A and B are shown apart, each in its own frame.
Chain A
Amino acid sequence: MTGDRPPRASATFPPHVIAEIHRAAGQGIYSIRGGGARRPLPNFDDLVFLGASVSRYPLEGYRERCGTDVTIGTRFAGKPVTLKIPITIAGMSFGALSANAKRALGLGASAAGTSTTTGDGGMTEEEREASDILVYQYLPSRYGMTPDQLRRADAIEVVIGQGAKPGGGGMLLGQKVSERVAGMRVLPPGIDQRSASRHPDWTGPDDLEIKIRELREITDWEKPVYVKVGATRTGYDVGLAVKAGADAVVVDGMQGGTAATQDVFIEDVGIPTLPAVRMAVDALKELDMHRKVQLIVSGGIRTGADVAKALALGADAVSIGVAALMALNCNAPLWPEDYAALGVSPGHCDQCQTGRCPVGITTQDPVLERRLDPEEGGRRVRNYLATLAMECQMLARACGKSHVHNLEPEDLAALTLEAAAMARVPLAGTDWIPGWSR
Chain B
Amino acid sequence: MSAREEIDLDAVPVRRLNRLLQGRDSARQAGSFDVLNPRGRHALAAGLVDPIDVVIHGHAGYYCAGMNQQARVTVAGNAGTGVAENMMSGEVRVHGDASQSAGAAGWGGLLAIGGDASARCGISMKGIEIVVGGSVGHMTGFMAQAGCLVVCGDAGAAFGDSIYEAELYVLGEVETLGADCVEKDMDDRHVARIGELLGRAGFAADASAFRRYGSARQLYHFRIDNAAAY
A residues whose Cβ falls under 8 Å from a Cβ of B: 27-29, 32, 141-142, 145-148, 150, 171, 173-174, 185-188, 191-192, 194, 196, 200-202, 207, 210-211, 213-214, 217-221
Contacts and interface: CB of A to CB of B under 8 A. Distances in A.
A192 to B, nearest CB: 5
A145 B104 CA distance: 12
B123 A201 contact: yes
Contacts of A186: 107, 126-127, 145-146
18 contacts: A27-B224, A141-B124, A142-B126, A147-B88, A186-B126, A187-B165, A191-B220, A192-B222, A196-B143, A200-B123, A201-B85, A201-B101, A201-B120, A202-B82, A211-B62, A218-B46, A220-B24, A221-B15
Nearest to A191: B220
Contacts of A174: 220-221
A208 to B, nearest CB: 11
Contact of A147 (B69, B100, B143): B69
Given A142-B105, A142-B124, A192-B222, A217 B43 contact: yes
B14 A217 contact: yes
B66 A214 contact: yes
Given A147-B67, A200-B124, A201-B82, A220 B223 contact: no
A214 B101 contact: no
A192 B43 contact: no
Given A147-B67, A201-B101, A214-B46, 10 more contacts: A150-B67, A186-B107, A188-B165, A194-B143, A194-B162, A210-B43, A213-B42, A213-B43, A218-B67, A220-B22
A202 B43 contact: no
A150 B18 CA distance: 16
B190 interface: no
Nearest to A32: B222
Interface residues of B, number: 45
Given A200-B120, A211-B63, A217-B15, A29 B224 contact: yes
Contacts of B126: 142, 186
Interface string B116-150: 00001001101100000000000000110110000
Nearest to B230: A194
Contacts of B61: 210
Contacts of A220: 19, 22, 24
Nearest to B42: A210
B43 to A, nearest CB: 4
Contacts of A187: 145, 164-165
A201 B81 contact: yes
B86 interface: yes
A408 to B, nearest CB: 39
Contacts of B143: 194, 196, 200
A201 B165 contact: no
Contacts of B11: none
B105 A214 contact: no
